[in-house]
Structure 1
Amino acid sequence: MAGFVQIIEYRTSKPDEVAALNDEFRKTREAEGDGTAPALALTGADRDDPGRFFAIVQFGSYEEAMENSNRADTSEFAAKMMELCDGPAKYYNLDVVQSMDS
């Protein structure tokens, strides 16, 4: 099983602004249509801890994820995202060792 997942844990009191930023980034990336993009991206809100969120981003490989991370537009997005967060984000970098589809 190949693949790579990055989970980004963050806190924000501005979830609507974060959602708008994510939508803008996705639309711009799709319109440009160049370079590596995530295979899947999800955002989850912690039901037990309001204001805590997790972004789950899946790539085909670690190398694809690093290529995406090194893009100028990704760096710009991350900087804008951190301006909307209430403190630093925590990153988890995971090699996929097993998956189950329904």
Structure 2
Amino acid sequence: MAGFIQIIEMHTSRMDEVEALGKEIRARLDDGRPSSPLRGTIAADRDRPGVYFNLVEFASYEAAMENSSRPETGEFAARLGKLCDEPPKFYNLDVREVWEPQSQR
């Protein structure tokens, strides 16, 4: 299975504002382009209060890089940085395998 996931690790005390920003930018990025994200997940780290992860799935690395070059994505990154207590960390991951339990199909 091909695919690409970008993870953004955020340390913030302003998560409500981060989520509002995400919704605003998602509405602008969700335009059906091949480079648009396929899915996103926001998760809170149970062991480290104030630490959150945004997992964004793309069809390919190339789609993710095309999405990264969009003005909306640059605007999101700049505004996100101002809402975080320290600079966000970005992880770029090539998907090697995805599995689902048989009972879930």
Q: TM-score normalized by structure 2?
A: 0.89
Pairing of 1:27-38 with structure 2 (within 5 A): 27-30=27-30, 33=31, 35=33, 36-38=35-37
Secondary structure at 2:67 match in 1: helix
Q: Which residue of 2 aligns with 1:61?
A: 60
Cα-Cα RMSD: 1.2
Give the Cα separation in 2 of the matches to 1:2 and 1:34.
19
Runs of 4+ in 1 over 3 A off after TM superposition: none
Q: Which residue of 2 aligns with 1:23?
A: 23
Give the Cα separation in 1 of the matches to 2:79 and 2:22.
10
Secondary structure at 1:44 match in 2: strand
Give the Cα separation in 2 of the matches to 1:28 and 1:88.
24
Instruction: Give the share of equivalent positions with the same residue, in percent.
Output: 51
Q: Which residue of 2 aligns with 1:5?
A: 5
Give the Cα separation in 2 of the matches to 1:9 and 1:60.
21
Q: Which amino acid is 1:3 matched to?
A: G
| Structure 1 residue 34 displacement after superposition | 5.5
Gaps of 5+ in 1: none
Q: TM-score normalized by structure 1?
A: 0.91
Secondary structure at 1:38 match in 2: coil
Q: Which residue of 2 aligns with 1:96?
A: 95
Matched, 1:85 2:80: no
Gaps of 5+ in 2: none
| Structure 1 residue 61 displacement after superposition | 0.4
**Contact 2:28 2:72 (C-alpha < 8 Å) held by counterparts:** no
| Structure 1 residue 28 displacement after superposition | 2.5
**Contact 2:43 2:52 (C-alpha < 8 Å) held by counterparts:** yes
Secondary structure at 1:21 match in 2: helix
Give the Cα separation in 2 of the matches to 1:38 and 1:62.
11
Q: Which amino acid is 1:62 matched to?
A: Y
**Alignment: residue pair count:** 100
